Amino acid sequence: MRLKIVEKLLVRKIDDEVFIYDRERANVHSFNGVGAFIWCCIEKSYDEEAIINALLEEYEVDKTTADRDLRTFVGTITERGLLEP
């Protein structure tokens, strides 16, 4: 499944952190580490399997951990209104 970021977000990457300003809700979000990595994969239109594979290559984790981290992060950013439903 391909994940889609909502429009009207202002996104800036500074070093290893991603800062997101949601203009409609006037909220600022920041992610570092794995969260920033996953966000960048979503921006590149990776599907979930491609993100898991990228996590496996980038970090020393097993597939179960990568899948859990992805689902947790996707749940968080969905709750915050940053992904299309």
Q: Give domain limits for the chain.
A: 9-79
Q: Which residues pair with 18 in a beta bridge?
A: 13, 31
d(CA 3, CA 46): 8
Q: What is the chain's percent helix, strand, coil content, to nearest 5?
A: 45, 25, 30
pLDDT one-digit tens code per residue, 4-60: 999 899 999 999 999 999 998 999 999 999 999 999 999 999 999 999 999 999 999
pTM for this entry: 0.92
Which ranges of 1-85 does DSSP label H, i.e. alpha helix?
Answer: 33-43, 48-58, 63-79
Instruction: Tell me what pLDDT residue 73 has.
Output: 97
What does the alpha-carbon distance between residue 36 and residue 21 come to, in Å, rounded to a whole number?
14
